[in-house]
Structure 1
Amino acid sequence: MDKPEITTLALARSLNCIETIFAENKALRREKQFFDYLMVLDFEATCWNKTDYDKGQSEIIEFPCVLYDVVNDKVISEFQQYVMPTERQKLSTFCTELTGIQQTQVDNGVPLKTCLVLFHRWLNQQILKYNISLKFPTSFCKTCVFATWSDWDLGNCLKNECRRKGIIRHDMFNRWIDVRSLYVEHYNVKPKGLLGALNEVGLTFEGTQHCGLHDARNTAKLIGKMVNDGVGLRITKDISNK
């Protein structure tokens, strides 16, 4: 009678050469995250070339935000509004070429104060639909916080513009996750912008760079990869007392 064939796996087991390594399931990593949802935003603002002599303060001209479902790794809702600059109404050539935003789009946009009202209206719809709370800890609602690529959007741009224009800025904008900060901490590398970060982890940018909505979508995409790689989402910046 022929001897039964001994497989490599069976032989390895018989010689005690197999080491069992625990690999945490990606879905479990997502379930363990503190935040269930993220409001990922990426403003576009007025800007000028270094050689432009007549520069002004940055004003938001595109206000986009995507609602990212952390557990299911997908964007489930989007907000986008073009905003009319009131301090320097005419866009620089540099700004138009960089962002792709045309003068007619901001001329037909709304002032920042109105934009914030529209954003709050959209946000309230998401809060009701998905049982979200931006106040935590909570035992009844899903947790949510803002996420941005760097501190500039909420720590500089929105804060300073609201201050200059006398616009009341809601407390929810006072704390957020700086995705870039967590990226550098986890991968121990300083990426060359969002595009560089995506490329370094094997992802491609989808859409047009410096389109705020596309940047927000791709930031959410990067967050998904980071969570799969074991990054724990946490607030990195809080300016509540500033």
Structure 2
Amino acid sequence: MLIKIKNVTKSYQINKENVHVLKGIDFEVASGDWLTITGPSGSGKTTLLKVLSGIEQPDDGSIMIGDFHISDGSEEEKRNFRRNNIGYIFQDFKLFDQFNILLNVMIPILPYEKKEQVENNAKEILAKVNLSHRENHQPAMVSGGEKQRTAIARSLMNRPNILLCDEPTGNLDVDSRNHVMSILKDLQKEGITIILVTHDTELSTYGNHLFEMRDGLLTRKQHS
């Protein structure tokens, strides 16, 4: 599923000032590729993922994923497309403290499929990320690395073609970070397209393509 972003811009009104966050972004990602975007906090990385997924609307430019113009779709069309094609891993996990790990993974798909099937799928994915032994624990009872792996498992419940990763290792120690990156490498081998944004320059060795984002501008870099 080819991703084509052409001349995408995005700005926000902040304290009566128009702040340009994305300034004419252009790139393509082939199906099954991994694109890593490094850059400091506030450079526009998270905004790029939000417009790419259709969560936010760009001011100008076009975003096409496969045959779908996500930048032109209705809200309902974009929601359906995300549910069927995109997994999103958040930096701050976004887990529900009142539910156990298993239910946290099940929640996004529960309204759309039979509970028994959703539970079986969730257990299968938790085993893939080595969390079967934690499925009955609350988020407060597991480590940061285990919370992030739970978030990864949840993002895989819709069997996505594309995985968007927003600073997925930003809150982790080195061992947990390496474990998470190993899981992502395995997912790419299964054919999932990965777009990862990070301020951690040590992650620039991962993936097929490397870009740097600064002040809303995207520049292609060479792998070290």
Q: TM-score, normalised by structure 2?
A: 0.24
* Bigger proportion of residues as strand: 2
Structure index of larger Rg: 1
* Bigger proportion of residues as helix: 1
